Structure 1
Amino acid sequence: MALWLYRLGRFTFRHKWWFVSAWLVVLIALGAIVGAVAPKFSTNFELPGTDSDRAMSVMKTDFTAINDQQLNASTSILVAADDGLANHTAQIDALVAKARTLPKVIEPQTVVNPVTAAQQNPAMASAVLGDDGKVGLIQIRQDIPMQDLTGAEMDQFKELLSEYRGDGLEVEGTGSLMQVFEQGGVSELLGFAVAFVIMIVAFGALIAAFIPIVTGILGVGITILLVTLSAKIIDVQQSATTIITMLGIAVSIDYALFIVSRYRSELNLGGSREAAVGRAVGTAGSAVVFAGLTVMIAVAALAVVGIPFITQMGVAAAIAVLVAVLGAITLIPALLGAFGRFAFSPQIPGIRHGDEPDTQPSNGLRFARFLTRFPLPAALAGLILLVVAAIPMTQMELGMESTTDSEYAATQLLQRGFGEGVNGPLLVVVSDAQNGDIAPAADDVVAHVKTLDNVANPAQITWIGNGSDPANPQAGAKAALISVTPERSPSGPQTHELMEQIREYGATSPGGATVNVGGQTAIMSDISSKLSSALIPFLIVVVGLAFIILTIVFRSLLVPLIATLGFLFSVCATFGATVAIFQRGDFGLIDHTKPIISFLPIFLVGVVFGLAMDYQVFLVTRMREEYVHGVSAKDSVIIGYQHGARVVASAAIIMISVFAAFMLAPDTIAKMMGFALAAAVFFDAFIIRMIVVPAVITLLGDTAWKLPRWLDKIVPNVDVEGTAIREIPIEKNIDPSLWEPEPAKV
């Protein structure tokens, strides 16, 4: 592996302009293709094998119009006044008139003042007017698929709400027009800016700091375009682009940082720049390849969950990491060749350049000596800190909510006037009756639902059929649809219990029919259940495969075991910190607390485990490299730490900055993901990898690097420490045709 990468590094350096041009051509070509075919992301959440998925299949077949209506934009305007809405008739009428002018409103005449609607149809008054006439509901349906709504249309709707808000009238919105996916920009730019500053500090030179940024931009751009283009062929959620941006930027810059740092170290050994690039790619590149492989396994293993959009996020993340690895071992050597002797210029005065001789004391060397002198207290202190941070994890509550923070005021008014569950009805479908007549079974289900707790307005529950007569759809119906509105929150445990009670009754096949429960509320509940049941199998797959890879890399059993156990401590601490901030509201950092999003634990485990192994490989491979070449176990830890600590610390700070920048997003879910990932990198990189792991390896001594003889014969030797490269004399690496001697000093 090392020798092959060594040759690849020299080849890309020698043909630098071909490789740089190839990356640019791929980016431009993909951009042109995406612009020409204009693929669209999907908004369908399919859960194969679940009860809600079967319910939605029946709706697609037998209630096509209602199903299509669910896919189109539907938005609610909430109006409220403490002195009664009747005192604001003119203001509300003007609001309604303006709302009818929104793009492609279906049946504008149905968009009416709730006070007027209640007066004209007293039987339906409770559906549009609540809290003794102080809260009203205005429904807007548009003939536009939800995924086709634009940011401009969302801004237009928000301006409409703002225009008529005031004079004692509250006007808030919730639904499709408030949930338009907003393209990122600020957080990504901030992440790149912070990364650039850290790179300047790490290298002490502007051009060297710029090279990893270029790699990150090209890598993330190509990956996003590939995933976007795939949406033309398969259903892809737009959420996949978020993880590409977050993870792609971070690993691209990290891997580039590792290669460039090693290249500078190799330059100090002498020889040509081409030879130095070859040695850097052969040694550091080997670590990058295996680190990237570990991350790809961790995120791609999200497919075991069995939820399409989770699988898409995992596969998209794996593609992002693959592109980052390819960029590190091909584009970085090419860029280093393109900049030539100017790669580490101009140097920034007053900043350590990182290429000082080993004999010169550095903070990494001082801390490594401290760790190896007091390994047991250092390891215990780090683990105790993580245990304390993990304590709030015992109170963790999981849930799924589709509402954004900007809808919070509207949902509060909705609950005040019409109950918590009005925005999350359960859609019960009854089908496949034995005698073909669905009416007896549908009547039985309706009668049973009316007896259950947590059902809003049970007396008004009825069923509609798919009969051919629009005036009487129950006649001759082969399937029935029942809308059940819960009294409590759609994501609450009471609503989940109500859903399960209906499903349990359906298991008895009332009237010989099949009963399924669907709708957004049921889908979210099924997602949570499936994620919970998949967590253990996911951990087994990820940890098992990663353990095998690390055993091959380090040719040891104890080092991979230490790495894996350390990860468990850091991820538990991350869960605890996330619960404290976002669920309990500690420190007042979050305005609207909410349960931890259900897919966060399994997503966090996949991504963070991969990143944790990145730092493990970056730091410990140098320790093994020194130990294999004759250095004592203790001294190998010191030397490896001295050379790797600066790079790992810089890489971790970059990761933390990129992830933490997503806390600037307006949505709490994005903030939660950004915080959790940033906290996980902090705990794992600075506590586990840079304190606990070196301390424990020091305690184990030579034992840490032992491998049973029988296993030593089985495990392939990938030479990640670059033994084959060290056997090549440096003076023979010089290619006279490429060597550009430095001007002689006068």
Structure 2
Amino acid sequence: MSTLLYRWGKSAFAHPFRFLGAWLVLLVVIVGSIAVNAPKLSSEVTINGVPAQEVLEQLEREMPAAAGGAGQIVYRAPEGTTFFDEASAAPLAQSMQGIYEDDNVVNPLDLAGSEQAQAAAQEQMAGQVRAAQQAIAAAQAGRELDQPVPLVVGGELVPGVTISPDGTVAMAQFQFAKQTIDLPAGAIEEVLDRAEAPLEGTDVEVLPGASLQELPEVAGAGEAVGIVVAAIVLFLVLGSVVAAGLPLATALLGVGVGVGGAYALGHFYDLGSMSVVLGLMLGLAVGIDYALFIVNRQRRLIMRERLSAHEATGRAVGTAGSAVFFAGTTVVIALAALTVIGISLLTTMAIIATATVAVAVLVALTALPALLGLVNERIVSAKAREKFEEREAAGVDHATARRWATFLSKHRFIASGAVILTTLVIAIPALDMRLGLPSSENYNSGTDQRESYETVSEAFGEGLNGPLLVVLSSRDDQPVDQEAAGAVLAELGQVKDVASASAAGMSEDGRTVLVSLIPREGPTDPSTETLVHALRDASTEFEATYAIDLGVTGQTAMGIDIAEKMSEVMPIYLGIVVLLSLIVLTIVFRSIIVPLKATAGFLLTILATLGATTAVFQWGWLNGLFGLDSTGPVMAMLPILVTGIAYGLAMDYQVFLVSSMRESWVHGHSGRESVIDGFAHSSRVVVAAAVIMTAVFAGFIFNGDPMIKQIGFALAVAIAIDAFLVRMTLVPALMAMFGDRAWRLPAWLDRLLPDLDIEGDQLLKRLGAKDS
């Protein structure tokens, strides 16, 4: 492998335009495809095989009109007025009429079912009109209402609109004919235009719900700051603007091809914004790091071995490039293992992330040496060569790293204990970790999503921000008995933590009845989760008493189910990763103790990361420092995603750091001496890579999407803990503790294991023999 990469690197250096031209042509094709027909991104999170999704699929079969996405618009009356006044209510009615005239919106009357059911619905609406008129008259007479009332204009009920008890806020809820991601381009904008047109000049404020609002930008100022920090670190490590620019250029190229390609193909699968951002995060982070390892090796070969830039590039790609290939392969395997869990959402995210990392590796091994060929000998200036020779002569190169490794070697027991204790203390909040999906409440203050959520909460209670959809269906081919359905509806309204329950529609054959159920608390409140379980537990009783099957769905129920599903599969995936870690590291380092220590350190990293994430996002500790002003559950997919990604990236640092120690040990140093010598030669670039990766991930903490915030934070914390506490402190201390025993391997196992030669030792031996 190393010999192939050596030849590949030299070829790319000698023929840069061939290699770069191929990448640029591919990038232009991808960009052109996106420009011509860009796919839609979705922020909705669904998962197959959970109860809420199964009920939704049942609705799609039996009552398609009710299985589409939900829309919500909040109207706020001008100061000093209320929607109890006919003058304010009339434009609101016209607004709703415009929405229902849209072909992509389902008229509530279409959900009434058969003609008999529609007649019953009309009679029910007449009763609601009379009750609403009485309540509005009481409010206009100065009495305070204790319940919301439906909107009535000209003696007619406006379906789907509810007015707050004080009359200052109206909330419209309606159903799309399809899920929002499946709507035609511009459909949501058309609905909003129809809603706003009759209200021009009225000073009524229109606040679209989360499903109707534009997704936050995939990347913004925070992400740009992360890249700037990465550029500064690259300059400090590589010592020149030209050298520092190469890893940035190749990382951007890799992201353009990897993430851009996934985006361009988004017409053929459900493409979530979170999948795209995850690919962007990983593509930038690993793209910069992998290129840094190769450029740093090439420059050192030029300065230390006095090789030409051409020869140094070949050797750098053959040696450091081999390690990059192995590290990237490890990340790819760890991410690809997510597909064996059998969850389509994770599979999509894993495929996009895997493809992006694979592209980053290929770019580092092909486009980077081609760029080095364009730069040629200018990659190391004459001043840099002189400075290196001066430091070598003075013996001060790696002095700081050598002192730190020596300190850890002398105080190995104290250092090991301190790191283990620190990570376990940080992990304590994870004992209280609660999984779920963030809601609009978790967006930053001042955003449309947060303002809409808070307006609804203040006017109607938090429960209306997370309604549940209860589906009643007959157990045979006969229509649902209406008396039985009414009894079930009455009982649902009396369930603990239910604010209200009302009929929402019926299928044409009468076999399916919809009930809109409003919890007392918000969608992420623990009581709402308890309510969903209580409803499902009660379904057995309803089946026995009324011969009616009961199912619960809706985005709130979906979030609860996803959290539970992720909790179930997390131990399985963690077991896969631990087993993978032990096997791979045993082959790489030909040792039993090294893989055990590395894997234990990785588990400490994951525990501490989940603890820190719980403390900040669920408990609210230091959340103001990260631009947060609300709390909520930890995103359901986060533990499993962080485990897979952090494992792959942690092994990068393990390989680059410990392989240097092994090389020193193989060349005759004692166990502790090899730790100090290997750490001194490899730690500088590992520290730089960790700082870059942490900065890139941390930039996403300030993204507008609360789920992306959590992923960015968790990955930044994971890399910082793993690199600086585990790899740069715990690993050297434990290696010094075990000494030569760390490298022992049973002879029978040594004969069975393949020689991966990830550092290109065999290549260097062949080149050395050739030179001699």
Distance in 2 separating the partners of 1:592 and 1:310? 27
Aligned runs of 1:295-374 on 2, under 5 Å?
Answer: 295-345=331-381, 356=392, 359-361=395-397, 362-374=399-411
SS of the residue aligned with 2:370?
Answer: helix
2:73 match = 76
Distance in 1 separating the partners of 2:471 and 2:709? 37
Q: Is 1:146 paired with 2:180?
A: yes
> Residues 9-68 of structure 1, C-alpha deviation per residue, up to 9 Å, x if partnerless?
233333332112111111112222333454334566542222222211121122222223
SS of the residue aligned with 2:457?
Answer: helix
AA matched with 2:469: L
Specify every segment of 5 or more residues in structure 2 that has no aligned partner in the other structure, as ranges.
109-135, 137-147
Kindly indicate whether the alpha-carbon contact (under 8 Å) linking 2:470 and 2:514 is maintained by their aligned counterparts in 1: yes
Kindly indicate whether the alpha-carbon contact (under 8 Å) linking 1:426 and 1:518 is maintained by their aligned counterparts in 2: yes
Kindly indicate whether the alpha-carbon contact (under 8 Å) linking 2:43 and 2:272 is maintained by their aligned counterparts in 1: yes
Instruction: Count how many residue pairs are aligned between Structure 1 and Structure 2.
Output: 717
AA matched with 1:221: G
**Post-superposition shift, 1:225?**
2.0
1:220 match = 255
**Structure 1 residue corresponding to 2:714, chosen from 676, 679, 685:** 676
Kindly indicate whether the alpha-carbon contact (under 8 Å) linking 1:42 and 1:231 is maintained by their aligned counterparts in 2: no
Distance in 1 separating the partners of 2:385 and 2:311? 28
**Post-superposition shift, 1:697?**
0.5
1:693 match = 731
AA matched with 1:314: A
AA matched with 1:128: T
**Structure 1 residue corresponding to 2:558, chosen from 523, 527, 531:** 523
**Post-superposition shift, 1:410?**
2.5
Aligned runs of 1:218-297 on 2, under 5 Å?
Answer: 218-267=253-302, 268-297=304-333
Q: Is 1:483 paired with 2:539?
A: no
Distance change in 2, residues 1:420/1:185 (3 Å): closer
1:436 match = 478
2:756 match = 718
TM-score, normalised on structure 1?
0.86
> Residues 399-436 of structure 1, C-alpha deviation per residue, up to 9 Å, x if partnerless?
21342342223222312332322232222234463243
AA matched with 2:257: I
Q: Is 1:457 paired with 2:500?
A: yes
SS of the residue aligned with 1:666?
Answer: coil
**Post-superposition shift, 1:622?**
1.3
Between 185-194 and 707-716, report the one with greater CA deviation: 185-194
Kindly indicate whether the alpha-carbon contact (under 8 Å) linking 1:275 and 1:733 is maintained by their aligned counterparts in 2: no
Aligned runs of 1:534-573 on 2, under 5 Å?
Answer: 534-573=569-608
1:408 match = 450
Distance in 2 separating the partners of 1:354 and 1:569? 41
2:427 match = 390
Kindly indicate whether the alpha-carbon contact (under 8 Å) linking 2:620 and 2:631 is maintained by their aligned counterparts in 1: yes
Kindly indicate whether the alpha-carbon contact (under 8 Å) linking 2:150 and 2:157 is maintained by their aligned counterparts in 1: no
Kindly indicate whether the alpha-carbon contact (under 8 Å) linking 2:93 and 2:158 is maintained by their aligned counterparts in 1: no
> Residues 699-740 of structure 1, C-alpha deviation per residue, up to 9 Å, x if partnerless?
111111111122112111112233212323459469xxxxxx
AA matched with 1:464: G
2:3 match = 3
**Post-superposition shift, 1:666?**
2.7
**Structure 2 residue corresponding to 1:376, chosen from 405, 413, 416:** 413
2:61 match = 61
**Post-superposition shift, 1:336?**
1.4
Distance in 2 separating the partners of 1:436 and 1:527? 33
AA matched with 2:165: D
**Structure 1 residue corresponding to 2:507, chosen from 466, 469, 485:** 466
Kindly indicate whether the alpha-carbon contact (under 8 Å) linking 1:188 and 1:245 is maintained by their aligned counterparts in 2: no
> Residues 473-520 of structure 1, C-alpha deviation per residue, up to 9 Å, x if partnerless?
xxx423332322222222323222332233234346456554332221
1:22 match = 22
Kindly indicate whether the alpha-carbon contact (under 8 Å) linking 1:392 and 1:579 is maintained by their aligned counterparts in 2: yes
1:133 match = 167
Kindly indicate whether the alpha-carbon contact (under 8 Å) linking 2:83 and 2:170 is maintained by their aligned counterparts in 1: no
Kindly indicate whether the alpha-carbon contact (under 8 Å) linking 2:247 and 2:292 is maintained by their aligned counterparts in 1: yes
2:465 match = 423
Q: Is 1:618 paired with 2:660?
A: no
Distance in 2 separating the partners of 1:377 and 1:151? 63
1:495 match = 528
Distance change in 2, residues 1:126/1:515 (3 Å): closer
**Post-superposition shift, 1:120?**
5.1
Between 643-652 and 491-500, report the one with greater CA deviation: 491-500
Kindly indicate whether the alpha-carbon contact (under 8 Å) linking 1:6 and 1:281 is maintained by their aligned counterparts in 2: yes
Kindly indicate whether the alpha-carbon contact (under 8 Å) linking 2:216 and 2:704 is maintained by their aligned counterparts in 1: no
SS of the residue aligned with 1:136?
Answer: strand
AA matched with 2:668: G
Distance in 2 separating the partners of 1:498 and 1:334? 60
Distance change in 2, residues 1:166/1:264 (3 Å): farther
Kindly indicate whether the alpha-carbon contact (under 8 Å) linking 2:605 and 2:722 is maintained by their aligned counterparts in 1: yes
Q: Is 1:639 paired with 2:677?
A: yes
Kindly indicate whether the alpha-carbon contact (under 8 Å) linking 2:218 and 2:277 is maintained by their aligned counterparts in 1: no
Between 617-626 and 364-373, report the one with greater CA deviation: 364-373
**Post-superposition shift, 1:117?**
2.5
Distance in 1 separating the partners of 2:596 and 2:376? 42
2:143 match = none
1:654 match = 692
SS of the residue aligned with 1:457?
Answer: strand
Distance in 2 separating the partners of 1:463 and 1:205? 67
Distance in 2 separating the partners of 1:371 and 1:228? 47
AA matched with 2:462: E
Distance in 1 separating the partners of 2:192 and 2:385? 51
Between 348-357 and 383-392, report the one with greater CA deviation: 348-357
Distance in 1 separating the partners of 2:222 and 2:599? 31
1:739 match = none
CA RMSD of aligned residues (A): 3.8
**Post-superposition shift, 1:284?**
1.2
Kindly indicate whether the alpha-carbon contact (under 8 Å) linking 2:322 and 2:758 is maintained by their aligned counterparts in 1: yes
Kindly indicate whether the alpha-carbon contact (under 8 Å) linking 1:255 and 1:328 is maintained by their aligned counterparts in 2: yes
1:740 match = none
**Post-superposition shift, 1:102?**
9.1
Kindly indicate whether the alpha-carbon contact (under 8 Å) linking 1:429 and 1:482 is maintained by their aligned counterparts in 2: yes
AA matched with 1:52: A
2:116 match = none
Distance change in 2, residues 1:416/1:204 (3 Å): same
AA matched with 1:35: A
Distance in 2 separating the partners of 1:397 and 1:575? 11
**Post-superposition shift, 1:141?**
7.1
2:82 match = 85
1:583 match = 618
Distance change in 2, residues 1:335/1:152 (3 Å): farther
**Post-superposition shift, 1:195?**
1.4
Distance in 1 separating the partners of 2:187 and 2:476? 49
Q: What percentage of residue pairs aligned between the two structures are identical?
A: 36
Q: Is 1:34 paired with 2:34?
A: yes
**Post-superposition shift, 1:346?**
8.3
Kindly indicate whether the alpha-carbon contact (under 8 Å) linking 1:396 and 1:596 is maintained by their aligned counterparts in 2: yes
TM-score, normalised on structure 2?
0.84
SS of the residue aligned with 1:57?
Answer: helix
**Structure 1 residue corresponding to 2:489, chosen from 446, 453, 456:** 446
**Post-superposition shift, 1:695?**
1.0
AA matched with 1:201: L
Kindly indicate whether the alpha-carbon contact (under 8 Å) linking 1:80 and 1:171 is maintained by their aligned counterparts in 2: no
Distance in 2 separating the partners of 1:442 and 1:6? 74
SS of the residue aligned with 1:429?
Answer: strand
